[in-house]
Chains A and B, each alone.
Chain A
Amino acid sequence: MKGLRIIVLAKQVPDTRNVGKDAMKADGTVNRAALEAIFNPEDLNALEQALRVKDKVDGSTITILTMGPGRAAEVIREGLYRGADNGFLLTDRKFAGSDTLATSYALSQAIRKIKDFDVIFAGRQAIDGDTAQVGPQVAEKLGIPQITYAEEVLDIKGKEIIVKRRLERGVEVVSVTTPVLITVHSSAADCRPRNAKLLMKYKHARTITERQDATEDYLNLYQTRPYLNIDEWSTADIVVEDEALGLSGSPTKVKKIENVVFKAKESKVLSPSDVEIDELMKELIENHTIG
């Protein structure tokens, strides 16, 4: 079987799993400086599925595509340390303020520029916005089928891919023909660890912007080891209409952000009798806590 050309969409996100007091700014936006920047967890699940396809089908390649500020190149390096082959960083001030529509537009334009691909993997959603919209929108813009909530790629037969989906009330096995976009759910296998040899191989990988800050010591490496150059694209590199980008391309308007503090209400003591438990169940069903 011919190797598959795989693209993994990955995002660098603030680690919202460990939120401290200063996580939000006064204006209601996320204080990114106070939160560690990490590889979006479900994008790691997506990367693992991509790596498994690569392990299975000889000659497959994995490209990481990410959009964000310069430091988001770290996401590409993390991908390289785990077995990805190369990556593109989409970075430009004009992307700032993009909502899911503008983001998926920019990503799809970049994918058109990459051109050859069979499968795109993405995490179901990112932990900063939790929209789960970017993956599906990219598929729509590219005019290819999509499989959401994937848990496992079960089989690959030529152009046919069989995928298990994790849904609210069970699992579903679907078959699709490439090209396809697959969003991966957190119930999928954890991503493999960084590999020591790949880490040593790629730890000096830098974008052109990062290289300007690099120490002189390793600059000659970028000529002798071309794989250490991470491609960086701006709006000029991908064919775009500027109005579709950033704030102007983003119809989503945040009206208000509130801090919600959960308060403990008065507690209720039940005796361990069937009658009281039965009453509690009825109460919980009536107020829609369960059911």
Chain B
Amino acid sequence: MANFFNDNQDLKFHLHHPLMKKIVSLKEKDFEDKDKFDYAPVDFEDAMDSYEKTLEIIGEISADVVAPNAESVDHDGPQLINNEVVYARGTTENHEVLTKAGLVGMSLPRKYKGLNFPVVPYVMAAEIVSRADAGFANIWGLQDCAETIHEFASEELKNQYLPLFNDGATAAMVLTEPDAGSDLQAVQLKGQSITATYDQAKDTYYLNGVKRFITNGDADIALVLARSEDGTADARGLSLFLYDRKEGAVKIRRIENKLGIKGSPTCEMVFTNAPAKLIGDRKMGLIKYVMSLMNSARLGIGAQSAGLAEAAYREALKYAHERVQFGKAIITFPAVYELLRNMKVKTQAMRTLLYETARYVDMYKAYTFAAEDRKLDPEERAEMKKYQKLADVFTPLLKLFSSEYSNQIAYDAMQIHGGAGFMKDFPVERIFRDARITTIYEGTSQLQVVAAIRGVTTGVFLGRIKEFEEVKVKPELEYLRKMLMDLTVQFEETVNVVNAVNDAEFLDFHARRLVEMAGNIIMGYLMVLDTLKDEEFRNSAEIFIKKAKSDNSEKLEYIRNSELKDLGIFKY
């Protein structure tokens, strides 16, 4: 039987990172659940074994159910019947099988019927499901919303809604409006408090307005961003609400006809006096809760991109072995094997960045939850802050690189298929279409740069790079470390060149180049560190770092030849 976890040794490698010991111990609070829940782990090894065995279930379902359904789900898509969404047959089957396997609400604590999974194995599950069908992965991945409820909602809402996820409740994050895409401050949807007849604890709000481009909009549980404060026009007037589909006060007006991820319904929702419950505090909707939700969604796109890349690479590799031209399998031609190897290198590079970022998120979140029960000591508080800072800039860095790479890999995978790949006969055309959205939604690549440039300007990236530099490597890997150290000097020099101009627009203009230079060095180091543990990564690390060197040198060259007045010749 095929298994998308067991057939990919890189996943096991990233799961068993040394930092997991600390993550698991924090997440399991020294295994306090072991006498309360029969499925809780008794020690670290037991927990890791449970993650692995659970990922095996996901790998099996992904290979045997989700992947075989992908073509028909893409073809049939969801339907709009009587203002409600009806999933494609395969989507319903995928969701039911995963629910029966207990794989919805995985990260929730056991008291809410969850598996209490850390971010790392959860993200790995998302990567595996995405490899099978990236469109379906959106529906399954929206269980992220449970985490937002868990983090910010009242105890009452948590008790009422969180256990529903394990029974298969679907979710949606309802943010975008016709005039409010990335600029969410422009959100208009009104939430009017009717506090007069209810006590404060059972406060009910009524939502009116239209939301657009909402993934899985007809979900059982919707988290809705709405303007609750009359007379405001900025982020501070927005609150986050929970809308329960059972209220029946939302109509789905249309399902968008998209280029890719066609199995995932993208909805236009009309709210008419829809009763909703406030999550957390008023006015914190966008500035706190949605920011947190977006960060986990961006990590999710990292996983989705890695899954898409893995799928594209495998399709191309298989085809290149099978396709014979000029009397030889096409993989024997340099032009083809170079393409393939670069696809693999990029997949491994984004994957190591994905799980590094996931560990940062795990560390600070585990500390945040630990702080609810006990006072953290100063050392722990410092560590929490450190990892939160890292997560804040690594998440957009990951989203940027992984989504762009997955598109490049899907493009090359189609190229290797030649004319056949352009036809619907091979899965690669679906992967190619599905990958396209990753650089666009949950913030475009251009917006990821706006967030990630802070990692450059505040020195967080450089600080982490310097820590990597300190790690002792084997003599035979010293040449790679040396190359990366040279690239770091070059990076600092480039930052100085840009800073010397001392102009905000000039920095914006070159921001992507700077962020990518830092990203290249960071992924280079991560691949060297991976090689320290497993020689399998050696060739990929070498190929990646050599490419990084030429790439970063080109960027420096471009920036050196650039002046503030040059911006004018680009202008509209």
In the assembled complex, the CB of A204 is this many whole angstroms from the nearest CB of chain B, namely 8
Q: Which residues of A contact B54 (CB under 8 A)?
A: 196, 199-200
Contact of B102 among A195, A203, A217 (CB under 8 A): A195
| Contact segment of B36-44, B273-281, B398-406 | B36-44
Interface size on A, residues (CB 8 A): 16
B385 at the interface (CB under 8 A from A): no
| B101 and A193 contacting across the interface, CB-CB below 8 Å | yes
Distance between Cα atoms of A196 and B101 in the complex (Å): 6
Question: For residue A204, which residue of chain B has the nearest CB?
Answer: B46
Distance between Cα atoms of A221 and B38 in the complex (Å): 11
Distance between Cα atoms of A192 and B102 in the complex (Å): 11
Within 8 A of B (CB), among A49-66: none
In the assembled complex, the CB of B82 is this many whole angstroms from the nearest CB of chain A, namely 29
| A193 and B60 contacting across the interface, CB-CB below 8 Å | yes
Q: Which residues of A contact B53 (CB under 8 A)?
A: 199-200, 203
B390 at the interface (CB under 8 A from A): no
Name, among B57, B101, B106, the residue most crowded by chain A CB atoms within 10 Å (CB to CB).
B101
In the assembled complex, the CB of A50 is this many whole angstroms from the nearest CB of chain B, namely 15
B464 at the interface (CB under 8 A from A): no
| B60 and A225 contacting across the interface, CB-CB below 8 Å | no
Question: For residue B65, which residue of chain A has the nearest CB?
Answer: A193
B363 at the interface (CB under 8 A from A): no
Within 8 A of A (CB), among B528-547: none
| B101 and A200 contacting across the interface, CB-CB below 8 Å | no
Distance between Cα atoms of A210 and B363 in the complex (Å): 38
Distance between Cα atoms of A4 and B360 in the complex (Å): 50
Distance between Cα atoms of A197 and B106 in the complex (Å): 10
Contact of A199 among B45, B57, B100, B106 (CB under 8 A): B57
In the assembled complex, the CB of B39 is this many whole angstroms from the nearest CB of chain A, namely 4
Q: Which residues of B contact A25 (CB under 8 A)?
A: none
Contact of B50 among A192, A193, A200, A217 (CB under 8 A): A200
A94 at the interface (CB under 8 A from B): no
Q: Which residues of B contact A194 (CB under 8 A)?
A: 57, 101
Question: For residue A51, which residue of chain B has the nearest CB?
Answer: B100
Given contacts A194-B57, A217-B43, A217-B45, contact A203 B50 (CB under 8 A): yes
Contacts between chains A and B (CB distance < 8 A), count:
50
Question: For residue B166, which residue of chain A has the nearest CB?
Answer: A197
B61 at the interface (CB under 8 A from A): yes
Q: Chain B: interface residue count, which band?
A: 20 to 34
| B101 and A218 contacting across the interface, CB-CB below 8 Å | no
Q: Which residues of B contact A282 (CB under 8 A)?
A: none
In the assembled complex, the CB of A161 is this many whole angstroms from the nearest CB of chain B, namely 24
| B115 and A195 contacting across the interface, CB-CB below 8 Å | no
| A196 and B38 contacting across the interface, CB-CB below 8 Å | no
Distance between Cα atoms of A198 and B106 in the complex (Å): 14
Distance between Cα atoms of A29 and B212 in the complex (Å): 65
Distance between Cα atoms of A217 and B57 in the complex (Å): 25
Distance between Cα atoms of A218 and B43 in the complex (Å): 10
A201 at the interface (CB under 8 A from B): yes
Contact of B61 among A193, A200, A221 (CB under 8 A): A193
B480 at the interface (CB under 8 A from A): no
Within 8 A of B (CB), among A187-231: 192-201, 203, 217-218, 221, 225, 227
Given contacts A192-B100, A203-B49, A217-B45, contact A197 B57 (CB under 8 A): no
Distance between Cα atoms of A199 and B49 in the complex (Å): 11
Q: Which residues of B contact A195 (CB under 8 A)?
A: 100-102
Q: List 6 A-B contacts (CB under 8 A).
A: A192-B100, A193-B97, A196-B54, A196-B103, A196-B106, A199-B54
Seed contacts A196-B54, A203-B53, A217-B43; 15 additional CB < 8 Å A-B pairs: A192-B97, A192-B100, A192-B101, A193-B100, A195-B102, A196-B103, A197-B115, A199-B53, A200-B39, A200-B54, A200-B115, A201-B38, A201-B39, A221-B42, A227-B38
B interface, CB within 8 angstroms of A: 38-43, 45-46, 49-50, 53-54, 57, 60-61, 97, 100-103, 106, 115
What 4 A-B pairs are tightest by C-beta distance, nearest first?
A200-B39, A196-B102, A193-B101, A201-B39
